[in-house]
A and B are shown apart, each in its own frame.
Chain A
Amino acid sequence: NAGVTQTPKFQVLKTGQSMTLQCAQDMNHEYMSWYRQDPGMGLRLIHYSVGAGITDQGEVPNGYNVSRSTTEDFPLRLLSAAPSQTSVYFCATSLSGLNEQFFGPGTRLTVL
């Protein structure tokens, strides 16, 4: 039982490049979400999903796309990376939106 896994752990991109951050869970949780964490800002919600096929925007969705084709996976896509997207990205899951959210180990992204 791996819980919540995120890949890669570290990534360096150049401005304008695209990439996908992967998140997978084996907890059979319906709810999944993506956050970014910046110094002094806490965690900010990017996108979330209440179940397969359903996604919605959080506080800071611009520059990011998501899709949810299966219960287990919730990838986050950066279409054209910008230095402002340098951050630590966390994926989280929960049974429902009102339950405890379990966080993955994070992906550290640097955009040059």
Chain B
Amino acid sequence: QKEVEQDPGPLSVPEGAIVSLNCTYSNSAFQYFMWYRQYSRKGPELLMYTYSSGNKEDGRFTAQVDKSSKYISLFIRDSQPSDSATYLCAMILYNQGGKLIFGQGTELSVKP
């Protein structure tokens, strides 16, 4: 079993829909949580970074962390065709700074 599990999709939604992307993890020592976005044939880029349970909002994006359930989510409101990409969750163990462990990535397609 992988340390970080993410539904690979693909996920297809109409423009304007609310998108929910999820990851679960097994090691309670994970303390830092990130979401990366990766466009086709490009390197990943950081979208959201949080280290505490609860919600963090940035424009149309909300990252949610539930450490008690070992579950993180990314919500995208009013999705746009430009949001079509692969979304990867990633996390770091508190005592192993630098060892970023990724989920498998979810491929999202937003149709006009």
B contact residues vs A (CB 8 Å cutoff): 4, 6, 8, 32, 34, 41-46, 49, 88, 90, 92, 96-105
Contact = CB atoms under 8 A, between A and B. Distances in A.
A40 B43 contact: no
A45 B43 contact: no
Contacts, number: 60
Interface in A2-37: 4, 31, 33, 35
Contact of A105 (B6, B32, B43, B105): B43
A42 B41 CA distance: 14
Contacts of B41: 106
Interface residues of A, number: 26
A77 interface: no
Interface string A91-109: 0101011101101111000
A90 B96 CA distance: 20
